[in-house]
Structure 1
């Protein structure tokens, strides 16, 4: 099922030079998507819309325009507005919704020459760690269709891993742009909060957490997409400028924490793979010190989950009271839980979130980068919310997600890059985290680390 993968940089160079056209490139991407329907990674296509947009790119090139993403086919996650496309959030409530305009990030990608060729699957409201919905069913892992890619950016991640497109755009409120890429063997980047403008779009249940997130086969394509999408926009009050200059990796203080300072289980193959990765990087001349973040008492994902539940309840609680069956049963449980939280419970979750952010801030006074696992396990069976066991311990449904949500609450940039596989060839990832606003330093360091690991 896996197709030959050409980078966004290669495609843009070929289209810009006239060696192929944006229309021909889009037609080839649509053919790949059609051939891979069994993966259920791309849930909406509109060939007429796509080919019309591609023809506009070709016309712009003929008129002399230069575009960094000329003709690059992209998949957009099914919770980000793309003008004229059906965008559903994986929910029956929005089954017929047509986005009235582009999100700022999508408008910037189109201005740079990218062509939307389809909409990538998400769990309902991007609120579950696997990618399935009542509208579209499950998205399948490209290396083993009996397994899940995780979630919620599973559709975009699988589309890149299967070679359908070189670049996809997801979202990340708790790890959705890092864990699925780690599970399928591609790269996924969560920028600093505000680095890429978020709206216009749907109301967000994740207060101050969710970001637009590029996913690609390599870090260079992610960096290219980030430069196109990033930058202040007055329509988004949370958008912000970030550091322009990137520090060289030789001057950075780099730490490694095998469990991010948490008492959690990790599968042996992942733990050994991360240790081997650090050994390889050290042998290549990258100085890495062993150091763990120190978390305040009660810093757990359970402590901060009321924010997600209450956010969902605020948006969809009235609909839930009228008819809970219109929701994915797992999402219905979250809404029901959100309706039960008191104001003090939600305030307590905000206190925990702030304490987590402050703990990370303290850590990054003594380090510039943190290397850690992206996931504690490889992909699990499609029918389960999570693996039954991790590291020999019985696992809760969210135990697979333990290493990513704190980064969102601290509003830091983080990237996952492939760093190993288990004996079945199922991938896992290395997560690299930086101080807020140091996105370009992080991406430059990640490219260097990626080059060492690929060598």
Structure 2
């Protein structure tokens, strides 16, 4: 049962072939065996699991068939889970117990899922390396010397290592697309507002962050998404997605942009992997044209970072002033920088984000989907914030993150799908992007893309 997908587990539990308690115990044993060296699942197991299993058995006995019946889910350690310690990877919150479930968790429970544990995160989900002062470093399942990236590294590794079929991350700039790309699983960032998020911690990514399914397959990511999606009166920013008919991938106008229209380096193995994948998709009948978004002058992540820095400074600046030693060193630098930005700096960053959103919106009047690499490199050693060089060029620590943040500022939907192997056999991810609200069309196309790439390997 450990190798089955979430949809298969739920179906077999619904038919009475598996007992949810037995499934839970099997994955708990897997965590006990594999997690000590990976450090992906952190903290104490949720206290109410036995009661959750008993309640699910009663639902099934009454004839209910919840779509995620008995499927274990790891929840990122920044998302509220009722009566659970949720630390945000911060010493400031190491004893915090959540009073209630986040809406996404509430809806996953309603769909029959069982929260099996918490996924490690970088502090406040604000770092591209999954490490913190509470739980330490999460390691890559294929090579313990490497990092899965961040900040949803614990969730991505949990799924990749078979500790759970599903995980729930967050994505404020790529945190649930880049780590899945690095470990070879699927990470889906929904449109902003598609999954309500009114309950939980205040965070630095105001107007940008979404909760994000991580799974082994696109089908499971879609199943998880459908369990959580839909407007909620408690969240005025939440939206109901349009119910328009879906088209097949071969009917869509798809653009391929090898560098997402940016003048940034990409490693040769990633370029080659993406080229092979595009050739495969074209061979499967998909209409893919080479086209790049034309971004406004000065558009890059540096233009946007004041928003994250100021968000952190707003939330934790006073605590940092009292005792900087309680903070991760990189997060402390971000807070210090945030205290220095002016109101005009913040306004310029907001304007840059708006212009990026308008540019991508115009692009989607001509194309239905946009394909680019999820990251310009494969996983790197876990003793540094990012690779020192990409494409043979020295890069800043955030050089690995260049292809994901613009999507958040456009409030758009995007998914990372494994598309092959690069250097040392490490996974490469393909990012597929759609306009805000076209989540279901994106997921439908992603299933076809995933199938075409799998047929190539078979």
Instruction: State TM-score, norm by structure 1.
Output: 0.98
Task: Report the equivalent of 2:186.
Answer: 187
Task: Report the equivalent of 1:8.
Answer: 6
SS at match of 1:133: coil
**How many pairs were matched up?**
453
Task: Report the equivalent of 1:87.
Answer: 86
Per-residue displacement from partner, 1:25-58 (whole Å, max 9, x unpaired)? 1111111111112100000232642232122211
Change over 3 Å in CA distance of 1:221–1:28 after alignment to 2:
same
Moved more, 236-245 or 379-388: 236-245
> How many Å separate the matches in 2 of 1:66 and 1:41?
30
Task: Report the equivalent of 1:451.
Answer: 451
> How many Å separate the matches in 2 of 1:96 and 1:323?
18
Moved more, 236-245 or 376-385: 236-245
Task: Report the equivalent of 1:404.
Answer: 404
Task: Report the equivalent of 1:422.
Answer: 422
Moved more, 222-231 or 40-49: 40-49
> How many Å separate the matches in 1 of 2:163 and 2:127?
24
Change over 3 Å in CA distance of 1:136–1:376 after alignment to 2:
same
> How many Å separate the matches in 1 of 2:229 and 2:297?
35
Report matched runs for 1:44-443 at 5 Å.
44-46=43-45, 48-245=47-244, 246-443=246-443
Per-residue displacement from partner, 1:52-102 (whole Å, max 9, x unpaired)? 212221122112222111000000000011111111100010001111001
Task: Report the equivalent of 1:39.
Answer: 38
Give the CA deviation at 1:210: 0.2
> How many Å separate the matches in 2 of 1:430 and 1:72?
27
SS at match of 1:424: helix
Moved over 4 A (4+): none
Q: 2:138 touches 2:154 (CA, 8 Å); kept in 1? A: yes
Per-residue displacement from partner, 1:111-144 (whole Å, max 9, x unpaired)? 1100000000000000000100000000000000
Give the CA deviation at 1:19: 1.0
Moved more, 82-91 or 305-314: 82-91
SS at match of 1:361: helix
Task: Report the equivalent of 1:18.
Answer: 16
Q: 2:47 touches 2:84 (CA, 8 Å); kept in 1? A: no
Moved more, 235-244 or 52-61: 52-61
Give the CA deviation at 1:199: 2.6
Give the CA deviation at 1:235: 0.3
Per-residue displacement from partner, 1:373-400 (whole Å, max 9, x unpaired)? 0000000001010001000000110000
> How many Å separate the matches in 1 of 2:243 and 2:154?
32
Moved more, 248-257 or 116-125: 248-257
> How many Å separate the matches in 2 of 1:131 and 1:186?
17
Q: 2:177 touches 2:189 (CA, 8 Å); kept in 1? A: yes
Provide the alpha-carbon RMSD of the alignment: 1.0
Q: 1:420 touches 1:428 (CA, 8 Å); kept in 2? A: yes
SS at match of 2:377: coil
Q: 1:76 touches 1:118 (CA, 8 Å); kept in 2? A: yes
Change over 3 Å in CA distance of 1:331–1:252 after alignment to 2:
same
> How many Å separate the matches in 2 of 1:389 and 1:423?
14
Q: 1:258 touches 1:372 (CA, 8 Å); kept in 2? A: yes
Give the CA deviation at 1:201: 0.2
Moved more, 180-189 or 9-18: 9-18
Per-residue displacement from partner, 1:297-332 (whole Å, max 9, x unpaired)? 010100000000000000001111111111111100
Q: 1:27 touches 1:51 (CA, 8 Å); kept in 2? A: no
Moved more, 45-54 or 356-365: 45-54
Q: 1:45 touches 1:117 (CA, 8 Å); kept in 2? A: no
Change over 3 Å in CA distance of 1:60–1:401 after alignment to 2:
same
- Structure 1: gaps of 5 or more residues: none
Q: 1:30 touches 1:47 (CA, 8 Å); kept in 2? A: no
> How many Å separate the matches in 1 of 2:335 and 2:47?
38
